[in-house]
Structure formats: structure tokens, C-alpha cells
Amino acid sequence: MQIKVLGPGCPKCHETEKLVREAVAEAGVSAEVVKVSDYQEMAKLGVFATPAVVMDGAVKCSGKVPTKKELLAWLGK
């Protein structure tokens, strides 16, 4: 599984990345977490509000910090 955390590097983006990494560890799933700060790549993914989380190509949230509960649900735990 590949999880992309999209954002330019603002505090909310850092918080989102931290929560994603915690949720992956808690769920015990194998996932590659990638930080994306390139605006062109974000636009290609259809994301125009950050922070955003993309899991295996599917945009799960955009424009807000997801809760750990939401992340765990997306990870299937």
C-alpha cells in the first residue's frame, strides 16, 4: 500500500503525516508513506486543498487533518 500525504509543509500537513505514520504502525499494515509537496503532482492527483491523504491513488480527504479513527478505518482496522 502507498499512502501519500500532500501539503506544502505547514503545521497541519506535518500533523497529518505524523497521524498517518502512527495509524500505520498501530494497524500493523505494510505501507509506504510518501510526503508530496510539489503543487503540480498534487494537481495531477486532483487535490487543490491541503493537507490531503491519498491511499493507493484514491483521495481519502482533502483540506483537513483526518482523525486517527478515520485513518484506521481507511486502513481496514
Domains in the chain, number:
1
Q: Which domain holds residue 13?
A: 2-74
Backbone torsion region of residue 42, taken as left when φ is above 0, otherwise alpha when ψ lies between -120 and 50, otherwise beta: alpha
Could you tell me the CATH number of the domain that includes residue 40? 3.40.30.10
- What is the band of 15 on the pLDDT scale with cuts at 50, 70, 90? very high
Helix (H, G, I), strand (E, B) or coil at 21: helix
Q: Is 68 left (phi over 0), alpha (psi -120 to 50) or beta?
A: alpha
Q: pLDDT tens for residues 23-72?
A: 999 999 999 999 999 999 999 999 999 999 999 999 999 999 999 999 99
Report, as residue numbers or ranges, the catalytic residues.
Answer: 10, 13
